């Protein structure tokens, strides 16, 4: 095991010093350098060979977004964590940076009361992300149990024949999720026959902007969920930051309910409450997908989906930025299939189209 090498990029000397102090206090991390601009950072990268870069979103000269694009030209897999403000401008720039190739982000503390509290908030947010992103390459032990053999609920040879009726599609994701959703959703058919519900671990403002950016790239409506929204086929809802999203049956319709009950798995919104609720309402007609993400949020909810007779698919390790969430579901033996990201949309489309063809066959034709 070796220490994770970190390069800090920020135009504010106070922030560079703050981050250096926070990261240097961890025995598994080593700050190998700092840079006051994106241009300087690009010059230092080949000299310092960091394992991860923290990058300010808003900088004079070469912006954080432009710096990410330049980094990706030479270092396509180097983890880059954006350091963002909780403002709409900062959130928008962060979403753009993620689209440009940034790996993840951390928000700067606001209204925390003291410098010490601010440092602790940053420490708790950024260090686990750095270790999770670099654990495989640096041999860091995250204290997790040894991986269990992956057991699929449907044999691989039978997957092509596995088509069950679906009334709802629920998706959970975290680290790497915005980019994964940016690949998955635009590849789905324009005439979606079911509603889609998504939990992406993000704070307020970020989720609204994420929904807007995804909507601009997809042929169907995507919006941040509102309390009381009625689910209809062909629409996508994203849980708003700081609110759990669940569904409840109301007469002949199903509505979205938002709440601020305690965080689950240190997250709000969390995937588990959504998955539990869709399993309760839709039972065996639920299809759930767990994409890339740190932690294990979604595992218990996926169990509820499986126990209700629904199906669960997960993104495979090779295409996940972090295989925490999908890995937890796979290792628990809940997943029906592990699929590379680029194969998930075709598989979902296949199931939905097969369902549509089946529904178009009359009972008399079936008997014949």
Q: Which residues are catalytic?
A: 174, 201, 297
Alpha-carbon torsion angle 169, 203, 16, 74, nearest 10: 20
In the structure encoding, which two tokens stand for residue 181, read together? 């959703």
Query: Closest by alpha carbon to 51, among 74, 19, 77, 85?
Result: 77
Measured from the Cβ of residue 227, the count of other Cβ atoms closer than 10 Å reads 12
| Angle at alpha carbon of residue 159, lines to 196 and 189, rounded to 5° | 35
What's 285-338 look like in SS3? HEEEEECCECCCCCHHHHHHHHHCCCEEEEECCCCCCCECHHHHHHHCCCCCEE
Q: CA 111, CA 230: separation in Å to the nearest integer? A: 35
CA atoms within 13 A on the CB side of 192: 24
CA atoms within 13 A on the CB side of 70: 15
Measured from the Cβ of residue 110, the count of other Cβ atoms closer than 10 Å reads 10
Alpha-carbon torsion angle 122, 51, 341, 203, nearest 10: 10
Q: With contact defined as beta carbons under 8 Å apart, do 112 and 85 qualify?
A: no
Q: CA 334, CA 159: separation in Å to the nearest integer? A: 15
Query: Closest by alpha carbon to 221, among 255, 259, 256, 185?
Result: 185
In the structure encoding, which two tokens stand for residue 217, read together? 């790239």
């Amino acid at each position: 095991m070796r220490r994770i090498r970190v390069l800090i990029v920020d135009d504010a000397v106070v922030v560079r010093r703050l981050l250096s102090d926070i990261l240097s206090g961890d025995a598994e991390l080593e700050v190998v350098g700092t840079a006051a601009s994106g241009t300087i950072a690009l010059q230092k990268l080949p000299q310092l060979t960091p394992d991860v870069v923290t990058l300010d979103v808003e900088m004079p000269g070469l912006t954080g977004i432009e710096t990410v694009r330049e980094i990706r030209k030479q270092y396509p897999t180097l983890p880059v964590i954006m350091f963002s403000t909780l403002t709409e401008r900062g959130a928008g720039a962060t979403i753009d940076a993620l689209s440009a190739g940034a790996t993840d982000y951390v928000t700067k503390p606001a209204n925390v009361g003291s410098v010490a509290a601010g440092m602790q908030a940053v420490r708790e947010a950024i260090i686990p992300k750095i270790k999770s992103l670099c654990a495989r390459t640096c041999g860091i032990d995250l204290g997790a149990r040894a991986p269990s053999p992956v057991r699929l609920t449907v044999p691989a040879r039978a997957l092509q024949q596995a088509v069950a009726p679906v009334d709802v599609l629920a998706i959970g994701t975290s680290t790497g999720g915005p980019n994964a959703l940016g690949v998955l959703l635009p590849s789905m058919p324009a005439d979606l026959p079911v509603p889609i519900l998504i939990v992406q671990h993000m704070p307020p403002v970020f989720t609204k902007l994420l929904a807007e950016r995804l909507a601009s790239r997809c042929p169907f409506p995507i919006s941040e969920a509102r309390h009381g929204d009625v689910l209809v086929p062909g629409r996508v809802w994203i849980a708003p930051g700081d609110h759990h999203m669940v569904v409840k049956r109301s007469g002949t319709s199903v509505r979205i309910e938002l709440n601020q009950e305690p965080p689950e798995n240190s997250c709000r919104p969390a995937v588990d409450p959504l998955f539990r609720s869709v399993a309760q309402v839709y039972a065996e007609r639920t299809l759930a997908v767990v994409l890339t993400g740190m932690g294990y949020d979604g595992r218990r909810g996926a169990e509820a989906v499986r126990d209700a007779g629904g199906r669960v698919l997960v993104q495979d390790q090779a295409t996940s930025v972090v295989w925490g969430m999908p890995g937890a579901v796979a290792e628990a033996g809940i997943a029906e299939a592990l699929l590379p990201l680029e194969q998930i949309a075709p598989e979902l489309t296949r199931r939905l189209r097969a369902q549509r063809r089946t529904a178009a066959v009359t009972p008399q034709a079936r008997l014949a």
